[in-house]
Structure 1
Amino acid sequence: MVKIFVITYSTYGHINKVAESIVKGLQKTGVEVGRYQIAETLSEDILTKMHAPPKPDLPTIVASQLPEADGYLFGFPTRYGTAPAQVKAFFDSTGQLWAQQALMGKPAGFFFSTASQHGGQEVTVFTSLPILAHHGMIFVPFGYAHPYLFDNSEVIGGSAWGAGTIADGDGSRQPSEKELAIAEAQGESFAKVATKLAAA
C-alpha cells in the first residue's frame, strides 16, 4: 500500500486544522497516512509569552523516518515568505538522506498559512523548492483543481501551489469551510499522483 506522510509545524493550530482535511482527502483514495509534527525549537517560556496553545498529541518526526513513505505533504506557516526556523532545522537534518539519495524521485507537496492575503502563500512554497531539488524529489502542485480557487466573493487562502488558510495578524481567523474543501481536494489529488509514481 502506498504510504503518505503529512508533516506539519503549527504554532497556533491553523495548519493542523487544514491538515485534518488534507488527511481526509488522502484517505478517500485508500492510501496509508502517517501523521507527524516537526519538533518545536522555542522554549515553553517563549511559547507561553506568545500565547501559543499546547501542541497536538502527534508523534514528532525525525529525518530517518522519511524513507518509510512514498510521498509527503508538508504544512507550515510562513515567516516573511520562507519556512519557519523549525521547518528549516528539520530539513537541515536530512543531510545523510541527501548523501544516500534516499528521497530521490519521491513526490512532495505543500500547504500553508499566512496572516494576510498577500503574506507570502505562494513564495513560501517557492522558497522551499530548492530543498526538493537537492533531494531529487518531485514537486506536485495542486493547480487550479478546485472551483473555490476561482471564488473572489470572499477571502480564501490557497493557490495553484497548494491549499492555504489566512489567519489574520492576531490568529483570530480560523480556516473556512471553503479552504478546508480545497485542502481535502489537494489530499485526494496528491494521493492519486503518488500512487501512479509508486507503481512506475
Structure 2
Amino acid sequence: MCKVLIVIYSMYGHIYKMAEAAAEGVGEVTECSAIIKRVPETLPGEVLEAMGAVEAQQKLADIPIATVNDLADADAIIFGTPTRFGNMCGQMRQYLDGTGQLWLKGALVGKVGSVFTSSATQHGGQESTILSFHITLLHQGMVVVGLPYSFAGQMGVTEITGCSPYGASTIAGGQGERMPSENELAGARYQAAHVARIALKLKG
C-alpha cells in the first residue's frame, strides 16, 4: 500500500476542505491511501479569538497532529498551507524547521512532495507561496510534483478560480467568506491523484 500523508494548517477551514478533496483524489488510485494531519498551532488563544478563528479551529480539533516522524513513514507528502504575505504560514514553517534530523539522515530523499494553498485575494501570493515552499522540499531531496495542465480546470477563463501548474489553490475572500469552488476542489483531487500515481510507481 502506498501511503500519502496530507499535512495542513487551516485557520478558517479552507485548506481543510482542499485537503478532503485531495484525500478523495488519492483514494481514486488503486493501492493508495491518504491520511490528513495538521501541524501544531503556535498562536495563543486570545490571538485566534481576535482573528475570529476559534470556532473554525474547534471544528478541526479532531484532526491528529503531525509529528516529524510521520513524514519519514509516508511514501508521498502533500502540504496544504494558507498564504501569509506570499509565503507559507508560520505554523507550517515552524513544523518544517523541526525536520533537521530527517535531513541529516536523508529520510525524505526520493519521496514525492507537493503543495496546495489558499489566499484571501485572487493575486494574493498563491504562486510565490507554493514556489517558495518547493525550496524546502528540494533541500530535503524530495521529488516535487505540481498540477499539470492536463487538469483542464486551470485553462478556463469563465470564472474566478485558483490553481496553477505549481499546485491547486483557492481564493478565500477578504473575510474568509468564500469556500473552495468545485473547480478548485477538482484541482486538489487531480493533483493528489497525480501525486499518488507517481509515488506508487516510485515505490514499485
Q: Is the structural similarity TM-score above 0.5?
A: yes
Q: Specify the TM-score bucket, using the shorter chain as the normaliser.
A: over 0.9
Q: How far is 1:99 from its partner?
A: 0.7
Q: CA RMSD in A?
A: 1.0
- How many pairs does the alignment contain? 199
Q: How far is 1:145 from its partner?
A: 2.2
Are 2:57 and 1:54 aligned?
Answer: yes
* Secondary structure class of the residue paired with 1:54: helix
* Secondary structure class of the residue paired with 1:128: helix
Gaps of 5+ in 1: none
Q: How far is 1:125 from its partner?
A: 1.0
How far apart are the structure 2 equivalents of 1:176 and 1:32? 24
Task: Tell me the equivalent position of 1:40.
Answer: 41
Task: Tell me the equivalent position of 1:93.
Answer: 98
Task: Tell me the equivalent position of 2:7.
Answer: 7
Q: How far is 1:17 from its partner?
A: 0.4
State the one-letter code of the partner of 2:38.
Q
Task: Choose which of 119, 128, 138 in structure 2 pairs with 1:123.
Answer: 128
Consecutive aligned runs of 4 or more in structure 1 exceeding 6 Å deviation: none
Q: Deviations over 1:55-99 (max 9, x none)?
A: 411100011221110000000111111111101000000001111
How far apart are the structure 1 equivalents of 2:57 and 2:82? 17
2:15–2:117 Cα contact (<8 Å) kept: yes
State the one-letter code of the partner of 2:14.
H
Matching of residues 172-187 of structure 1 within 5 Å? 172-187=177-192
Gaps of 5+ in 2: none
State the one-letter code of the partner of 1:44.
G
* Secondary structure class of the residue paired with 1:61: coil
How far apart are the structure 2 equivalents of 1:65 and 1:147? 33
2:5–2:74 Cα contact (<8 Å) kept: yes
Identity of aligned residues (%): 40
State the one-letter code of the partner of 1:156.
T
TM-score where L is the length of structure 1: 0.97
2:117–2:170 Cα contact (<8 Å) kept: yes
